[in-house]
Amino acid sequence: MKARQLGISWLVAAYGLWKVLFAENAKVLFMSKGEDEAWQLIDKSRFILNHLPDYLGLIQKHPENKTIIDFKASNSVIQALPSTKDAGKGTDATLVVRDELASHPYAGENFSAIGPAIDSGGQLIDLSTINKLDVESHFTERVNRARDKTSNAHLIFLGWKLRPVRQEGLSLDEWFKLRILPKYSPLEIEQEYPETIEEALKLSGVRAFFDINALEDMLMYVHPTVPAEINTHNGMVKIYQLPVVGEQYCIFTDPSDGKDDPHATGVMHPRTGEIVALSHGKIPADECAQIHDSLVRFYNNAFNTFEINAMAGGKMAETIKKLETPRCFGFRKGELKSGEEGWWTGGWSGTSVRRDMIYRLEEAIRKRLIILHDREAIEELRGFIVPEGGIPQASRGLHDDYIMMLGGLWMMRKVIPQGSGSGYSFKYKQSW
């Protein structure tokens, strides 16, 4: 377990290369959370290999293959793999390195898969900073068991002060005070730059608001967009599923002023909970309204509304009226209002719409009732936290636009007609 920027990834890359250069039939596996990250680790070994003296060099079998380094004479190999449930299964590895393990999506399942590979004499190095928002992660469990001596693993902690120089001309304490304290929150400092193992492992007063395991499961549904005959505004609008004739959809927009916060527009299939389209980016409220209107019409005149808070909400309401967006409703004091536009979501009282949105969304995600195809949106959900004694909020430097959009959609899902085309809501006695 380590702090950031200590050069440990370079160290294990050199160690893995030494294993295959000086042993027959050695097999080294470098695993990281994704392909790109695994390739970055093996590139470190390749860089070292290319700068060794000639007498230490061996002829490679596949010098152009970026996923492996292998040699003809020794039959030894380094292979880069993304972390999956079965990565490394069925192989007899000399060394397995799992880099930044706390961020691996299938770390626990993968441990079972690679166990037999190292049980016959191989070595496993798990390497990571800690994720303090996920106290039940596989990496944290491994650290705690090694610390309590309930496993045969050896725990090594590497604090941030082990790197002797961080910036020329500054002592470590000066660098920390100048570069780290003003930039990061206390939680981020405890997580990224711990000085002691006690600091790294102590329970934080901050916790993740949304269920981390549910968000990890949600990543299984991430996939590319599909072509659609609609203006995507240079890729800002993402279509994941095309509209189906006769199906009902609902749309909610959290608008922006185009300066500080981005807007977020989502289209949900209310029967399945699938988010079939998204729009996200920093644009003025009138442009938000145009995207909102085009998606409403594209998805079978979808039932729709938007957050009316502040100037951005007022400007969007004005544009929605000019566009004559169909099937747009207002929400006032817990009731649907035809002839009005927008939804006031401000405040955090016990009866506020915003509070209901956030807590109902948390339940929906925990119960796996929402299908989300966008990785960026999932990452925003991961960064939504609850400080000790505080209210749910975005982590420092992050936004909550996707969250408000998803919360609005989930609340809409409960009140809109579930039939196709025009319908009737008995609860609100409102025809559409």
Share of the chain above pLDDT 70, in %: 91
Q: What is the pLDDT of residue 375?
A: 92
Q: What is the pLDDT of residue 426?
A: 29
Q: What is the pLDDT of residue 429?
A: 33
Q: What is the rounded CA–CA span in Å between residue 386 and residue 394?
A: 9
Mean pLDDT across 372-394: 86
239-274 core/surface letters (b: 16 or more CB in 10 A; e: else): bbbebeeebbbbbbbbbbbbeeebbbbbbbbbeebb
Q: What is the pLDDT of residue 397?
A: 62
- Token representation of residue 4: 């950031």
- Token representation of residue 139: 């990496």
| Contact in structure between 221 and 372 (CB atoms under 8 Å) | yes
Tell me which architecture the domain covering 8-200 has in CATH.
Answer: 3-Layer(aba) Sandwich (3.40)
Torsion, CA 121, CA 127, CA 130, CA 133, rounded to 10? -70
State the DSSP string of 5-27.
SSSHHHHHHHHHHHHHHSSTT-E
Q: What is the pLDDT of residue 12?
A: 95
Q: Which residue has the higher pLDDT, 125 or 356?
A: 125
- pLDDT (tens digit per residue) in 163-187: 999 899 999 999 999 999 888 877 7
- Token representation of residue 129: 């900073």
- pLDDT (tens digit per residue) in 15-74: 999 999 998 899 999 998 888 888 899 999 999 999 999 888 777 888 778 889 988 888
318 falls in which pLDDT band (50, 70, 90)?
Answer: very high
Contacts for 31 with CB less than 8 Å, ≥ 6 apart: 38, 80, 81, 82, 83, 87, 88, 96, 97, 98, 99, 104, 110
State the DSSP string of 243-260.
PPTT---EEEEE---SSS
Closest CA to 413 of 275, 269, 276: 269
- Token representation of residue 327: 């099937």
Mean pLDDT across 243-271: 93
Q: What is the mean pLDDT of the chain?
A: 86
Half-sphere exposure of 233 (CA within 13 A, CB side): 18
364 falls in which pLDDT band (50, 70, 90)?
Answer: very high
State the DSSP string of 21-76.
HSSTT-EEEEEESSHHHHHHHHHHHHHHHHTS-GGG---BS-TT-TTEEEBTTT--
pLDDT at 347 over 70: no
Q: What is the rounded CA–CA span in Å between residue 220 and residue 243?
A: 22
265 falls in which pLDDT band (50, 70, 90)?
Answer: very high
Q: Which residue reads 């807007």 in tokens?
A: 263
Closest CA to 249 of 232, 272, 227, 231: 272
- In angstroms, what CA-CA distances link 310 with 275, 315, 322? 26, 9, 19
Q: What is the pLDDT of residue 351?
A: 54
Which amino acid makes up residue 392?
P
- Token representation of residue 368: 């796996």
pLDDT at 394 over 60: yes
pLDDT at 341 over 60: yes
The topology (CATH level 3) of 212-431 is Nucleotidyltransferase; domain 5 (3.30.420)
Q: What is the pLDDT of residue 389?
A: 74
Could you tell me the sign of the dihedral formed by the alpha carbons of 135, 409, 238, 260, in that order?
Answer: negative
Which of 193-207, 346-360, 377-391, 402-416 has maximum average pLDDT? Answer: 402-416
Q: Where are the domains of the chain?
A: 8-200, 212-431
Q: What is the pLDDT of residue 222?
A: 95
- In angstroms, what CA-CA distances link 403 with 219, 289, 376? 16, 19, 11
- pLDDT (tens digit per residue) in 114-168: 888 777 788 999 999 988 877 678 898 888 888 878 888 999 999 999 999 989 9
Q: What is the rounded CA–CA span in Å between residue 328 and residue 351?
A: 24
What does residue 401 show for φ and ψ, rounded to 5 degrees? Answer: -65, -45
Q: What is the pLDDT of residue 417?
A: 64
